[in-house]
Amino acid sequence: MITLDSPVQAVLGDNKKAEKIVTGLKLRTVGDLLHHFPRRYLNTAKLTSVADLQEGLMLTVLGEIVDSKVATYSDRKTGRTAYRVEALLQTDGPRLSMTFFLKKPWYADHYQRMLAPGTRGVFIGKAGTFNNRWQLTHPQMVLFGNADDGAQVPDDAAMTIEALTDVFPIYPLTAGVLSWDLQRAIRFAREVVTGIEDPLPDHLKQAYQILDLREAFDQIHQPASFEEVEAAQRRFRFAEAVTLQLVLGRRRRALQAQGAQARTGGAGDLLERFDATLPFTLTAGQRQVGEEIERDLAQPRPMNRLLQGEVGSGKTLVALRAMLKVVDSGGQAALLAPTEVLAQQHYRSINAMLAAVNGGSLVAGGLLGGGTTVELLTGSMTKAQRTEPLSRIAIGEAGIVIGTHALLQDKVIFDDLGLVVVDEQHRFGVEQRAALTDKAGAPPHVLVMTATPIPRTVAMTVFGDLEVSTLTELPAGRAPIQTNLVPLSERPQWIDRVWERVREEVGKGHQAYVVAPRISGDDAEQGETDAVDLDEDGNPIKEPSRPLAAVTELAAELSAGPLHGLRVALLHGRLPPEEKERTMRAFAAGEIDVLVSTTVIEVGVDVANATAMVIVDAERFGVSQLHQLRGRVGRGGLPGLCLLVSHASYDTPARARLDAVASTTDGFVLSQVDLELRREGDVLGANQSGGRSSLRNLRVLRDEETIVEARAAAAELLDKDVDLRHAPRLAAVVHEIENSIQAEYMEKS
């Protein structure tokens, strides 16, 4: 008996083709094979519309033969007569020539008969040009109709298809495997597989008009119409969304059931005194989010909240007020930052904001009142430098602790950790975040922050176990930022004007950043990866290789060349901590005109006098990262300028990303663009930067309506029974995910 769990060889056999399918497509079971869905479908009633042809572009087209002939030539290697069949293919656009080189005359005769004028089929090959005519090079084909069974045809050269509908499936492939190889294998698998049990209960399928699983398999692989395709796709997307929302919903309910110490503020007055010293009024958004957080902190269950907002929207201020509330309650708060530069920046800015509470400046271990101190803990601190902070943390004297991964070490012991704030949460591994929350005796309240705006559907899908707060307003004093693209592929001479603009800004008494993707040579900043653009199958598009700008070389070139005479300094993550701190302090003090840096200045760096930023090789950065970087300028009420210097060609996905960033400063709009261009990444796994998604069928932007329906359906199921005893097959799927590595990621997020 062949089931969905049977090895795929049960339907493929044990041969080289089967081995290629297993290894190349990672299809190990019959269920994997049946879940390998077509990436698109051709309408066999219409010729394919072909436009914007490019050399080397892989085409899959439905066309009609309008002419074919046989010609002879002399084979250069053997000197013998050889044959070629030349055919002309009509599409809904330009005609494409195809040439088949054959050694035997009966092969040539058979091909000419197969490719008689009027024959239709699916043709796959690379677009190219020969004698100023477009052609398909080495095309593979499926011809609609029956071939002469008596003729001998070279292996894999052509095939015919007997069961033809108006919709022809095109599958994602691997080397040595053709779309119709998969089509035949899947058709056979559907005929012989037994015991298909649908995890979705009948009442759910009826309520949401969802196909049965076996029917959906048939319609996704051999649809009679595009309506059947849509119905089948809806079924698989809905099932995946329901399963994910059940996993997240169970996690959310488990968190709510945990006990936690309510942090109501007690008799403390730090927050009240802090608010009284603020030289500005909180925005309406900051007040609203602050109230949401205070309500959460006052509950006897742990807060798990995501705080998202634009660059410069005041998230740090909101987080600080939450930390002071916890300190007023007698607990401790920890702020985890992804880089030492950002941790030090947080420490300086929080000290500056708190200075007025005691009427003076705060230094390491400076008292906030009631014996409470603010501490900094980073990996570069010596053992002697850590001794006193560690002691104050352990006895509870340190009310607020700011640090990097150093906070996660076993030697760091908290007396009463009540709140964990994780800044730029996507920069941390889940095990690292969990290591900090595990340091609390009872479950702590958790606030994760991101300056990368997240569309509603992503928040529902990725962070379904978190409550979401959003800051949309910018505080008063934020100046507009003008962003311009500098396309060196078409206008190489414009680079001179870039450096002239930097000199002009410095001449006005301002400062500038220059950002490069490398430290030296091809040495990237730790934890940074280049933006990857994808084709329609989710595979990376290879970029032309060329040396990328590096901070050390670029700083020297600018100092000796176009920025000669200006005070130029460099900054990257591999400099000694003392040098990084000294450089940042000098830049903040106006002692440096131009700071040439890697992305270590992406978040948290706040220099009011910086008005210009040049991002070199900007195509190597993602949309959200470019938005974050340019948020470093225009922070002091002065208009900002961001120049995106790029070698990307006008017709590439990278260029589309840069055009999008240049067109708007609305981070929420850009977050939608980012998803559309680069997909959602590995939603269930640790990869959050695009590429193949662990979601098989669901796309969080395209399928928003389905996700909303699935969230409601999951809530109904969990309201009846959180253990899903009334839907045992669905419960088994949910438990399998919860027990997997992916579920471990979600649980610790």
pLDDT at 723 over 80: yes
Please write the tens of the pLDDT for every residue from 126-163: 888 888 888 987 787 877 754 443 333 444 444 444 44
Q: Are residues 431 and 577 in the same domain?
A: no
pLDDT at 475 over 70: no
pLDDT at 511 over 80: yes
Q: Are residues 551 and 649 in the same domain?
A: yes
Residue 92 pLDDT = 83
pLDDT confidence tier of residue 370, bands split at 50, 70 and 90:
low
- Whole-prediction pTM: 0.68
Domain membership of residue 141 (yes or no) is yes
Range with top average pLDDT, 250-264, 279-293, 432-446 = 279-293
Please write the tens of the pLDDT for every residue from 703-720: 888 988 998 999 999 999
Q: Are residues 34 and 52 in the same domain?
A: no
Four-residue CA torsion sign, 664, 668, 672, 677 = positive
Among the ranges given (33-47, 388-402, 445-459), the one the predictor scored with the smallest mean pLDDT: 445-459
Q: Nearest 5°: CA angle at 310, between 404 and 335?
A: 20
pLDDT confidence tier of residue 433, bands split at 50, 70 and 90:
low
Domain membership of residue 746 (yes or no) is no
User: Reduced to 3 DSSP states, what percent helix, strand and coil does the chain have, rounded to the nearest 5?
Assistant: 40, 20, 40
Domain membership of residue 376 (yes or no) is yes
Distance CA 242, CA 461 (A): 10
Q: Are residues 412 and 504 in the same domain?
A: no
Distance CA 164, CA 183 (A): 12
CB burial class (10 A; 0-12, 13-18, 19+) of residue 60?
middle
pLDDT at 582 over 50: yes
pLDDT confidence tier of residue 503, bands split at 50, 70 and 90:
very high
Residue 461 pLDDT = 58
Residue 164 pLDDT = 55
Distances (CA, A) of 14 to 10, 17, 20, 21: 8, 8, 11, 11
Between 536 and 699, name the one with better pLDDT.
Answer: 699
Largest CA distance in the chain: 100
DSSP state of 444: P
Domain membership of residue 402 (yes or no) is yes
CB-based contact 36:27 (threshold 8 Å): yes
Distances (CA, A) of 532 to 379, 621, 623: 31, 9, 11
* Domain end residue (candidates: 642, 663, 678): 678
Residue 183 pLDDT = 84
Q: Are residues 458 and 509 in the same domain?
A: no
Domain membership of residue 252 (yes or no) is no
Residue 482 pLDDT = 93
Q: Are residues 438 and 455 in the same domain?
A: yes
Relative to beta strand 372-377, strand 367-369 is antiparallel
Domain membership of residue 410 (yes or no) is yes
Residue 460 pLDDT = 58
CA 617 to chain centre: 20
Q: Are residues 366 and 448 in the same domain?
A: yes
Q: Are residues 182 and 153 in the same domain?
A: no
Distances (CA, A) of 625 to 273, 475, 603, 619, 637: 36, 21, 9, 11, 22
Closest to 20 measured CA to CA, from 175, 155, 157: 175
**Neighbouring residues of 33: CB distance < 8 A, sequence distance ≥ 6:** 8, 11, 12, 21, 27, 185, 186, 189
CB-based contact 336:423 (threshold 8 Å): yes
Q: Are residues 515 and 538 in the same domain?
A: yes
* Domain end residue (candidates: 678, 697, 723): 678
Mean pLDDT of the chain: 82
Q: Nearest 5°: CA angle at 177, between 176 and 178?
A: 125
Distance CA 419, CA 401 (A): 10
Please write the tens of the pLDDT for every residue from 76-108: 888 888 888 889 999 888 889 998 888 888 888
The number of distinct structural domains making up the chain is 4
State the CATH number of the domain containing residue 86.
2.40.50.140
Q: Which domain holds residue 610?
A: 481-678
- Rounded mean pLDDT of 726-748? 75
pLDDT at 366 over 60: no
CB burial class (10 A; 0-12, 13-18, 19+) of residue 698?
buried
pLDDT at 361 over 50: no
pLDDT at 367 over 70: no
pLDDT confidence tier of residue 16, bands split at 50, 70 and 90:
confident
Phi-psi group of 314: left, alpha or beta (phi > 0 → left; psi -120 to 50 → alpha; rest → beta): left
pLDDT confidence tier of residue 215, bands split at 50, 70 and 90:
very high
- Rounded mean pLDDT of 53-64? 80
Distance CA 30, CA 185 (A): 10
Q: Are residues 118 and 179 in the same domain?
A: no
Q: Are residues 546 and 642 in the same domain?
A: yes
Domain membership of residue 739 (yes or no) is no
Ranges of H-type helices in 329-454: 340-354, 383-394, 430-437
Distance CA 661, CA 640 (A): 15
Distance CA 283, CA 398 (A): 29
Between 566 and 122, name the one with better pLDDT.
Answer: 566
pLDDT at 28 over 60: yes
pLDDT confidence tier of residue 364, bands split at 50, 70 and 90:
very low
Residue 497 pLDDT = 96
- Rounded mean pLDDT of 200-214? 95
Residue 684 pLDDT = 45
Please write the tens of the pLDDT for every residue from 255-279: 778 788 999 988 788 899 899 888 8
Closest to 341 measured CA to CA, from 605, 576, 589: 605
pLDDT confidence tier of residue 436, bands split at 50, 70 and 90:
low
Q: Which two tokens stand for residue 371?
A: 């014996």
Distance CA 554, CA 123 (A): 49
Domain membership of residue 733 (yes or no) is no
**Residue located via tokens 């700008």:** 549
Phi/psi at 356 (5° precision): -70, -15
Directed axis angle between helix 623-630 and helix 667-678, to 10°?
150
Percent of the chain exceeding pLDDT 70 equals 83
Q: Which two tokens stand for residue 519?
A: 């430290």
**Neighbouring residues of 675: CB distance < 8 A, sequence distance ≥ 6:** 455, 458, 700, 701
State the CATH number of the domain containing residue 667.
3.40.50.300
CB-based contact 290:282 (threshold 8 Å): yes
Percent of the chain exceeding pLDDT 90 equals 36
**Neighbouring residues of 622: CB distance < 8 A, sequence distance ≥ 6:** 531, 657, 674, 678, 689, 690
Q: Are residues 137 and 180 in the same domain?
A: no
Residue 685 pLDDT = 44
Q: Nearest 5°: CA angle at 124, between 122 and 130?
A: 120
Distance CA 140, CA 126 (A): 10
* Domain end residue (candidates: 629, 645, 678): 678
Q: Name the 3-class secondary structure at 309.
A: strand
